[in-house]
Chain A
Amino acid sequence: EAGVAQSPRYKIIEKRQSVAFWCNPISGHATLYWYQQILGQGPKLLIQFQNNGVVDDSQLPKDRFSAERLKGVDSTLKIQPAKLEDSAVYLCASSPPSDEQFFGPGTRLTVL
């Protein structure tokens, strides 16, 4: 069974630039999550989708971050414009409803 796929794996940008990350969940998983993991900290949930609807985005900085899952399958997370403090690993996870979350390898973002 293929796991959660994420791309790119690494991205370096300058502050005020825009960046987008892509996630393809495990086939059949209705729930998709985006987490931000700052160096030395645990992952923090940014947004949770159930199919193509948002379940929770209370910790998403909506002035600069946006996410979509238009067809209820893959998802894109965008930052516009990026700040230095956005440097982190962005993890995508997916799960069947109310079950174990499976994590992708993450995208490491460095903002200079």
Chain B
Amino acid sequence: AQSVTQLGSHVSVSEGALVLLRCNYSSSVPPYLFWYVQYPNQGLQLLLKYTTGATLVKGINGFEAEFKKSETSFHLTKPSAHMSDAAEYFCAVDQRGNMLTFGGGTRLMVKP
């Protein structure tokens, strides 16, 4: 069975600072990996995804993530946080059945 662990349920950064949200997965086969963002009272929006090919994936709003097979990680980063980045972020895996398993989420807070 696959699982997703997001280290840190809450992360707080200052505006302009680096954002790093951690995601580790366990899977018997290399999965497809996703990051979603959820703003209050809204559904989830896809930020980026890794399927095959280049391990550094760029997404919307300046976010990127790197797939590291040896570390079973898919951490999400953004060089400079903006107030509008405050939201909840979910990492998810899919073992080719288009059925997502989500992590517990990380709430990102951005201080002015």
A residues with CB within 8 A of B: 4, 31, 40-45, 48, 55-56, 91, 93, 95, 97-101, 103-106
Contact of B98 among A44, A95, A104, A106 (CB under 8 A): A95
B44, B49, B99: the one contacting A103 at CB < 8 Å is B44
Counting contact residues on chain B (CB < 8 A from A), the size range is 20 to 34
> Given that A91-B43, A106-B43 are known contacts, is A40 also in contact with B98, CB under 8 Å in the complex?
no
Q: Are the C-beta atoms of A42 and B102 separated by less than 8 Å?
A: yes
Whether a CB of chain A sits under 8 angstroms from the CB of B90 is: yes
Let me know if B30 is at the binding interface, CB within 8 A: no
> Chain B 4-23, CB within 8 Å of chain A: the 1/0 string?
10000100000000000000
Contact call A105/B43, Cβ cutoff below 8 A: yes
Interface presence of B105 (CB below 8 A)? yes
CA distance A46 to B44 in the complex (A): 16
Q: Is the CB of B43 within 8 A of A44?
A: no
Which A residues touch B4, using CB under 8 A? 42
Contacts of B98 in A (CB 8 A): 31, 48, 95, 97-99, 101
- Interface of B with A (CB < 8 Å)? 4, 9, 36, 41-46, 49, 90, 92, 97-105
Is B99 a contact partner of A42 (Cβ separation < 8 A)?
no
Residues of B within 8 A of A56 (CB): 97, 99
Q: Knowing A91-B43, A105-B41 touch, does A42 contact B90 (C-beta < 8 A)? A: yes
Please measure, in the bound complex, the distance between the C-alpha atom of A102 and the C-alpha atom of B50, giving whole angstroms.
17
Q: Smallest CB–CB gap between B1 and chain A, Å?
A: 11
Q: If the complex has contacts A31-B98, A48-B99, A100-B49, are A43 and B104 also in contact, measured as CB distance less than 8 A?
A: no
In the docked arrangement, what's the CA distance between A100 and B35, Å?
Answer: 12
CA distance A61 to B49 in the complex (A): 30
* Bound CA–CA A11/B4 (angstroms): 30
